[in-house]
């Protein structure tokens, strides 16, 4: 089971849609905030496809989802950063990579939390949203090597966005977890966050689904309810990280 980062930790989440952070990591974020961490929610798309009503005007959908996300962010004391890409159409382009490098250098987080871009299918009933995979890929490619190299997107450095190297990358919605957070004590708070996104999550069904997902995530660790992540350590020089890892026989590979 994972320890909680210290109170000065800055956490930047980079997710495709309003509600992704709460759905994939809401309990973990609640726990971290309770320990004094500061959370920044970078949301790549405007969420305009988040409706099953074809007559629902795009502008109304966007406004509704922004309002829902604002309420959830307020519960976390989090700052929201909107990038405004079109929902359902995201590609891991150089433009998106540059936008994410700018955000990471601006926030200067210790932890970046994003989608696992390698996951296509989960739970036997879910095709991972292409926006999730695209955003995860763009975030990973922003972190290595772009965010730490002043010569990549030099116009950002010239504008004052100096290179920065976070300490860890956390991949959510992963099939290869190596870090688990006990969210049983805060599960109802996670559900309260999801309730802010009422247009996406009918409360009764959400309770069933997220209770089961938390149980499945916790089972390998003997936890009643958990959220799990694949964590990758980061540093200015990869060779230094690997040398330290390989010189410590008891250190697990990630």
CB contact at 8 A, 46 and 84: yes
pLDDT value of position 180 = 97
Instruction: Report yes or no on 3 lying in a domain.
Output: no
Q: How far apart are CA 11 and CA 139, in angstroms?
A: 14
| Number of domain units in the chain | 1
Confidence of residue 219 (pLDDT cuts 50, 70, 90): very high
Instruction: Extract the tokens encoding 9.
Output: 């930790």
Q: Is 37 helix (H, G, I), strand (E, B) or coil?
A: coil
Q: Give residue 185's pLDDT.
A: 98
In the predicted model, is pLDDT for residue 200 greater than 60? yes
- 159 found inside a domain: yes
Q: Is 193 helix (H, G, I), strand (E, B) or coil?
A: helix
In a domain, 240, yes or no: yes
Tell me if 78 is assigned to some domain: yes
| pTM of the model as a whole | 0.93
Residue 32, in any domain of the structure: yes
Q: Look at the block and give the residue holding tokens 């966005």.
A: 161
User: 72 is in which domain, residue-wise?
Assistant: 10-246
Q: What is the model's pLDDT at position 106?
A: 98
Please compute Rg for the chain using Cα positions.
18
> Rounded mean pLDDT of 24-42?
97
Residue 3 burial (10 A CB sphere; 0-12, 13-18, 19+) = exposed
Domain membership of residue 176 (yes or no) is: yes
Torsion of CA 233, 45, 43, 201, to 10 degrees: -110
Q: Does a structural domain hold residue 231?
A: yes
Kindly state whether residue 5 falls inside one of the protein's structural domains: no
Q: Structure tokens of 241?
A: 């990280």
Query: Which pLDDT tens digit goes with each residue over 140-160?
Result: 999 999 999 999 999 999 999
Q: What is the CATH number of the domain that holds 28?
A: 3.40.50.10320
pLDDT digits (tens, 9 = 90+) for 105-138: 999 999 999 999 999 999 889 999 999 999 999 9
List Cβ neighbours of 82 (8 Å cut-off, separation of 6 or more): 43, 46, 66
The pLDDT value given to residue 151: 97
For the segment 224-240, what is each residue's pLDDT rounded down to a tens digit?
999 999 999 998 888 88
pLDDT of residue 2: 62
């Amino acid at each position: 089971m994972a320890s909680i980062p210290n109170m000065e930790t800055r956490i930047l989440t980079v997710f495709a849609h309003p509600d992704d952070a709460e759905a994939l990591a809401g309990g973990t974020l609640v726990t971290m905030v309770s320990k004094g961490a500061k959370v920044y929610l970078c949301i790549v798309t405007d969420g305009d496809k988040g409706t099953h009503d074809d007559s629902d005007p795009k502008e109304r959908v966007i406004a509704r989802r922004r309002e829902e996300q604002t309420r959830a962010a307020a519960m976390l004391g989090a700052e929201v950063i909107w990038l405004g890409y079109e929902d359902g159409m995201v590609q891991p382009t150089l433009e998106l990579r540059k936008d994410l490098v700018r955000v990471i250098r601006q926030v200067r987080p210790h932890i970046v939390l994003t989608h696992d871009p390698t996951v296509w299918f989960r739970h036997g009933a879910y095709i991972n949203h292409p926006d999730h995979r695209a955003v995860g890929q763009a975030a990973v490619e922003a972190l290595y090597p772009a965010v730490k190299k002043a010569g990549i997107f030099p116009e950002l450095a010239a504008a004052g966005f100096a290179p920065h190297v976070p300490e860890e990358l956390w991949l959510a919605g992963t099939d290869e977890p190596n870090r688990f957070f006990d969210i049983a004590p805060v599960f109802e708070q996670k559900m309260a966050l999801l309730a802010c996104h009422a247009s996406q999550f009918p409360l009764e069904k959400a309770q069933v689904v997220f209770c089961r997902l938390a149980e499945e995530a916790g089972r390998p660790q003997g936890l009643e309810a958990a959220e799990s992540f694949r964590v990758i350590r980061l540093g200015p020089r990869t060779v230094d990280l690997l040398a330290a890892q390989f010189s410590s026989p008891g250190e697990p590979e990630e």
